[in-house]
C-alpha cells in the first residue's frame, strides 16, 4: 500500500479516515512474469489495479506487428482506474519486468467514490496526471529528436521514482531491453542503441545491470527541456 499512498499524498493531504479507507480497501495480489499480459486489449475488467512492484506498460500495436508503448507505469501507479469509466479496454497492459499487482473490485471502488468524494477526486486526478504525461509524450514524439526524447523520458522516470522511493542518488531501476525502449521512444532498435550510447558517451547517464544513473542532471534536463510541472508533484487542494 505504501507506494500508492506516497503517490497520493504527494498530491494532496489525506485525512486519517481516508488513509484507513485505503489501507482497508479489499484487494487481491497477483504476480506476473516479464512479458505477461496483465489486462488484455478488448477485455471488460471487473476490477482495477495498481502496481506494487515492477515496471508495466500500456501497449498498442499495428497489424504488421509494430508496437508502441503509450505509457510506462511504476509502483504506486493506479494502472487501470479508467477501466472503471470506459468498460472495454482499448489497449493492453503488460508487465515489462516481473510485477506485483493489487486488484480492487470495481464495486469496491465505486462505493468508495460515492462515499469519499475528496479521495475520489484525488484518485481521478491520477488519471488526469496520466493524461498530462501522455501529452508530453506526444510533444516528444512530434517535436523532439531521438536524444532529446530519451533524455526527457529518463528525467520523467527519475522524478516519478523519487516519489515512491527505493531509488539511489539520481538512479532508478530500469531493467528493460533496448528493443522495448525502442517501442517507448517510437524508434528502431538500432537507432535506440546509438542514442543510448550517445547519452552514455556524453557522460550524462550510465545504464548497467538494469539501473539507470543520471550522472549530470543539469545537462540531461537542459537537453530535454525538462520541466517537471506537468507531473503535478506538489500538494494542492484537489
- Total residues contacting DNA by CB under 7 A comes to 17
Among 90, 191, 206, 235, binds DNA (CB under 7 A): 191
Interface with a copy of itself (CB under 8 A): 42, 58, 60, 62-63, 66-68, 70-71, 82, 84-88, 90-91, 113-114, 117, 121, 124-125, 127-132, 134-139, 141-144, 185-186, 225, 229-230, 232, 236-238
DSSP string, the chain: -HHHHHHHHTTS---HHHHHHHHT---EEEEE-TT-EEE-TT---SEEEEEEES-EEEEEE-TTS-EEEEEEE-TT-BTTTTHHHH-S-SSEEEESS-EEEEEEEHHHHHHHHHH-HHHHHHHHHHHHHHHHHHHHHHHHHHH--HHHHHHHHHHHHHHHHHHH---BTTEEE----HHHHHHHHTS-HHHHHHHHHHHHHTTSEEEETTEEEES-HHHHHHHHT--GGGG--S----
Residue 56 makes contact with DNA by CB under 7 A: no
48 vs 180, beta carbon nearer DNA: 180
Give least dist CB 160 to a copy of itself, A.
Answer: 15
Between CA 124 and CA 228 the distance in angstroms is 20
Tell me which of DNA, a copy of itself, none is bound by residue 230, counting a contact when its beta carbon lies within the kind-specific cut-off of 5 to 8 angstroms: a copy of itself
Give least dist CB 190 to DNA, A.
Answer: 4
Contact segment (CB under 7 A) with DNA among 11-19, 153-161, 190-198, 229-237 equals: 190-198
Tell me which of DNA, a copy of itself, none is bound by residue 137, counting a contact when its beta carbon lies within the kind-specific cut-off of 5 to 8 angstroms: a copy of itself
Tell which positions 169-188 bind DNA, by CB under 7 A. 177-179, 186-188
Site residues, DNA (CB under 7 A): 145-147, 177-179, 186-194, 196-197
Amino acid at each position: 500500500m505504501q507506494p500508492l499512498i506516497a503517490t497520493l499524498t504527494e498530491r494532496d493531504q489525506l485525512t486519517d479516515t481516508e488513509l484507513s479507507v485505503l489501507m482497508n480497501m479489499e484487494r487481491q495480489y497477483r504476480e506476473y512474469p516479464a512479458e505477461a499480459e496483465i489486462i488484455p486489449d478488448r477485455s471488460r475488467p471487473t476490477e482495477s489495479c495498481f502496481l506494487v512492484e515492477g515496471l508495466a506498460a500500456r501497449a498498442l500495436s499495428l497489424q504488421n506487428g509494430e508496437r508502441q508503448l503509450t505509457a510506462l507505469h511504476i509502483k504506486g501507479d493506479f494502472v487501470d482506474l479508467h477501466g472503471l469509466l470506459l468498460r472495454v479496454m482499448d489497449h493492453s497492459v503488460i508487465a515489462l519486468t516481473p510485477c506485483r499487482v493489487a486488484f480492487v473490485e470495481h464495486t469496491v471502488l465505486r462505493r468508495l467514490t460515492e462515499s469519499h468524494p475528496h479521495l475520489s477526486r484525488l484518485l481521478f486526478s491520477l488519471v488526469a496526471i496520466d493524461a498530462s504525461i501522455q501529452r508530453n509524450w506526444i510533444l516528444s514524439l512530434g517535436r523532439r529528436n531521438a536524444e532529446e526524447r530519451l533524455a526527457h523520458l529518463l528525467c520523467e522516470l527519475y522524478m516519478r521514482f523519487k516519489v515512491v522511493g527505493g531509488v539511489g542518488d539520481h538512479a532508478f531501476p530500469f531493467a528493460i531491453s533496448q528493443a522495448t525502449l525502442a517501442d517507448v521512444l517510437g524508434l528502431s532498435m538500432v537507432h535506440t542503441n546509438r542514442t543510448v550510447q550517445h547519452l552514455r558517451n556524453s557522460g550524462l547517464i550510465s545504464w548497467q545491470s538494469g539501473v539507470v544513473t543520471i550522472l549530470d542532471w543539469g545537462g540531461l534536463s537542459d537537453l530535454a527541456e525538462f520541466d517537471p510541472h506537468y507531473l503535478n508533484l506538489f500538494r494542492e487542494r484537489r
